[in-house]
């Protein structure tokens, strides 16, 4: 295994500068944010424009990673392939197609995506729709030797009532995705807020994990006991407050020693990529870098087998 980072945490940095800093910090891989240029949604970043990844660009990126002794662990583009607006949905699919093509040109790195959801229909209808619209993407990726994988983020902000807006949030749905030929980009931080033990959920599915994102989570049970797992209901007389928050790896409640051990026991030998979304260490690029370094200090002693 190797330790890397998702570049989206530093959206204004150039990929060249991030590669240099990653090497200097002892990181071994970059998971590169590949949203469309000009994207403004939270968490979006464009460190690689997949629509402009011609052979010359691909060669420059491969050379950059080679100079800094880094692995390209994945391309990340997490938008909603089931968006209810047909025009928006078509743009998402076109860009996913471009990311797959770019990943193939870059040596076959996997591509991380969401299943998404159309909240105006029921879950069963969404799953049937997903089987229709995602299958061509899986087939195209397979033809190019690229693994297409879904992240288990619930994306409640994609649903008007705060319910899961990405239908890949539970082991039941992972297994449904596996049947379509998708892989799992596993992020344990999303599971405790859903009442799921991340280590118990991971153990039987390690063989389908293609990539791991390392992010921690801190929960506040006293707040949960008032609002329940979905959180406060808007319009019910008080603004409410979140009962959990993301933390830098090692500063929350995930047992990283046990989780890495389960990955190792299950034969996983890929990248554990630090995804930084900690509000405590989020006030500007220097704090973000510190948060990433804190995560690296947690993971590095646990990961002793390098590919």
* 33 burial level (CB within 10 Å; 0-12, 13-18, 19+): buried
Number of independent structural domains in the chain: 1
* Structure-block tokens of residue 48: 């690689």
pLDDT grade for 307, boundaries at 50, 70 and 90: very low
Domain assignment present for residue 307? The answer is no
pLDDT in tens, 243-257: 999 999 999 999 999
Express each pLDDT in 30-81 by its tens digit.
999 999 999 988 899 999 999 999 999 999 999 999 999 999 999 999 999 9
pLDDT for the residue numbered 237: 80
List Cβ neighbours of 261 (8 Å cut-off, separation of 6 or more): none
Q: For the domain that residue 148 is a member of, what is the CATH number?
A: 3.20.20.150
- Residue 61 and residue 15 in contact, taking contact as beta carbons nearer than 8 Å: yes
Instruction: Give domain status of residue 118, yes or no.
Output: yes
Q: Give CA angle at 271 (1, 305), nearest 5°.
A: 5
**What is the model's pLDDT at position 50?**
97
Angstrom CA distances, 177 to 144, 228, 250, stand at 20, 28, 29
**Tally: H helices and E strands in the chain:** 9, 10
Under 8 Å between Cβ of 292 and 25:
yes
What is the rounded CA–CA span in Å between residue 115 and residue 307?
30
Q: What's the pTM value of the predicted model, to 2 decimals?
A: 0.96
The encoded tokens of residue 179 equal 């049947």
Encode pLDDT of 191-207 as tens digits.
Answer: 999 999 999 999 999 99
Domain span at residue 57 reads: 2-302
What CA–CA distance (Å, rounded) separates 261 from 267?
10
230 confidence band (pLDDT: 50, 70, 90): confident
Examine residue 124 and state whether it is found in any structural domain, yes or no. yes
Q: What gap in Å lies between CA 219 and CA 215, rounded to an integer?
A: 14
Domain assignment of residue 228, yes or no: yes
Residue 306 has pLDDT above 80, yes or no: no
Collapsing DSSP to helix, strand or coil, 139 comes out as helix
- Residue 106 is given by DSSP the state T
β-partners of residue 76 are: 33, 112
Question: Is residue 215 domain-resident?
Answer: yes
């Amino acid at each position: 295994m190797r330790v890397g980072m998702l570049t989206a945490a530093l959206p204004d940095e150039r990929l060249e500068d991030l590669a240099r800093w990653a090497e200097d910090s002892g990181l071994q891989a970059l998971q590169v944010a590949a949203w469309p240029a000009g994207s403004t949604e939270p968490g979006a970043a464009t460190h690689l424009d997949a629509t402009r990844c011609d052979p010359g660009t691909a060669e420059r990126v491969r050379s950059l990673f080679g100079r800094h002794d880094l692995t390209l662990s994945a391309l990340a583009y997490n938008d909603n392939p089931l968006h209810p607006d047909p025009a928006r949905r078509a743009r998402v699919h076109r860009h996913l197609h471009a990311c797959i093509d770019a990943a193939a040109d870059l040596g076959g790195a996997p591509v991380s995506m969401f299943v998404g959801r159309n909240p105006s229909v029921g879950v069963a209808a969404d799953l049937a729709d997903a089987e229709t619209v995602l299958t061509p993407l899986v087939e195209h990726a397979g033809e190019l030797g690229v693994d297409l994988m879904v992240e288990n983020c619930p994306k409640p902000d994609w649903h008007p009532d705060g319910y899961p807006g990405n239908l890949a949030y539970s082991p039941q749905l992972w297994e449904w995705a596996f049947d379509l030929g998708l892989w799992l980009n596993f992020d344990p931080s999303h599971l405790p807020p859903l009442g799921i033990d991340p280590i118990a959920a991971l153990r039987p599915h390690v063989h389908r994990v293609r990539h791991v994102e390392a992010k921690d989570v801190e929960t506040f049970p006293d707040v949960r006991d008032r609002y329940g797992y979905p959180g406060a209901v808007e319009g019910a007389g008080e603004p409410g407050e979140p009962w959990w928050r993301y933390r830098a790896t090692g500063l929350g409640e995930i047992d990283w020693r046990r989780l890495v051990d389960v990955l190792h026991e299950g034969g996983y030998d890929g990248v554990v990529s630090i995804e930084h979304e900690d509000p405590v260490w989020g006030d500007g690029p220097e704090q973000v870098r510190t948060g990433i370094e804190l995560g690296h200090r947690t993971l590095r002693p646990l990961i002793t087998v390098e590919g």
